[in-house]
Amino acid sequence: MSKRIEVRDLNVYYSKFLAVEGVTLEIEPRSVTAFIGPSGCGKSTFLRTLNRMHEVIPGARVEGEVLIDGNNLYDPDVDPVLVRRQVGMVFQRPNPFPTMSIRENVIAGVKLNNSKISKSDADDLVERSLRGANLWNEVKDRLDRPGSGLSGGQQQRLCIARAIAVSPEVILMDEPCSALDPISTLAIEDLIEELKQQYTIVIVTHNMQQASRVSDKTAFFNIAGTGKPGKLIEYDETTTIFSNPSVQATEDYVSGRFG
């Protein structure tokens, strides 16, 4: 079900500006990997290259390879649309479609692709996905209400349900809790723990406690100064990163001495 991600020598550009330089790492299937680092170090930019969302921004380019189970995402004849169906994404701010009900939001990925789906299959999918996102019990009575009427944390779980409804292999999360209150954050963290059983999860976070709570491995990104490219400094088991990092900059960062 879930897949292994290998990144080799990846450079990421915005037009002429080199945003991330020379990243090489491997992400194991069915694990949670956290990207941490100061603002502007390119961790979100890097995350977006993993499902080719990066190229949505005009002028964006990459060099190097991203392999998912050995297939390079950036091969010329790869369809980014198909990539994104395998690698789902959850964004910083919850973004349910305002014109759709909760139910429609969940099956949006299927419906928007013009696929035919029978009513009972759709009902199944909605229930499965919402249960998967720990949201079913809260919304089962109001599936036809607009998704934008939910609380922030519920909206974010709805977005996760929407992402898992297209049955991806990998889920990317770009600071999924930064717009949420602590209780909602806890709910999402619990959910990540469960999702790990089935999916490969990559999460960008500013919150180091969160990284240490939810992730198996942690990658620390840093930036030498404004206008310089972001780099992968250290990538290791989360416990190692937080207790016994091998690079001084990592230790400074995780112990709160800078950034």
Contacts to another protein from residues 9-38, by CB under 8 A = 11, 13
C-alpha closest to that of 156 among 183, 140, 182, 133: 133
How far from the centroid of its chain's Cα atoms is residue 168's Cα?
12
Q: Which of 209, 254, 215 is nearest to 233 (CA)?
A: 254
Q: Which member of 4, 8, 30, 93 binds another protein (CB under 8 A)?
A: 93
What is the spatial distance between Cα 56 and Cα 72, in angstroms, rounded to a whole number?
Answer: 19
- Identified binder of another protein from the candidate list 39, 70, 77, 256, rule CB under 8 A: 77
CA–CA gap between residue 150 and residue 197 (Å, rounded):
27
CA–CA separation, 74 and 243 (whole Å): 36
For the segment 112-131, give every residue that binds another protein (CB under 8 A).
112-114
Count Cβ atoms within 10 A of the Cβ of residue 17 and give its class: 0-12 exposed, 13-18 middle, 19 or more buried.
exposed
Q: Give the one residue of 53, 180, 241, 254 binding another protein; rule: CB under 8 A.
A: 53
Q: Is 78 in the site for another protein (CB under 8 A)?
A: yes
Q: Give whichever of 43 and 162 is closer to another protein, judged by the CB atom.
A: 162
3-state secondary structure 234-253: EEEEHHHHHHCCCCHHHHHH
CB neighbour class for 249 (10 Å; exposed up to 12, middle 13-18, buried from 19): middle
Site for another protein in 196-225 (CB under 8 A): none
Q: Which is nearer to another protein, 159 or 223 (CB)?
A: 159
Q: How far is the CB of 241 from another protein (least distance, A)?
A: 28
C-beta closer to another protein: residue 171 or 241: 171
Considering only the stretches 86-94, 120-128, 185-193, 203-211, report the one whose residues sit in contact with another protein under the rule CB under 8 A: 86-94
Stretch that binds another protein, among 129-137, 140-148, 211-219, 229-237 (CB under 8 A): 140-148
Residue 117 CA from chain centroid, whole number: 27
Contact between 95 and another protein (CB under 8 A)?
A: yes
Least distance in angstroms from the C-beta of 162 to another protein: 7
Report the distance separating Cα 168 and Cα 51, nearest Å: 11
Shortest gap between Cβ of 129 and another protein (angstroms)?
12
Can you read off the two tokens belonging to residue 35? 């990207």
Q: Of 86 and 240, which has the nearer Cβ to another protein? A: 86
Closest C-alpha among 215, 227, 228, 196 to residue 254? 215
Binding mask 145-184 for another protein (x = CB under 8 A): -xxxxx----x---x--xx--x------------------
Footprint on this chain of another protein (rule: CB under 8 A): 11, 13, 51-53, 55-56, 58, 60-63, 74, 76-86, 88-89, 91, 93-99, 108-109, 111-114, 146-150, 155, 159, 162-163, 166
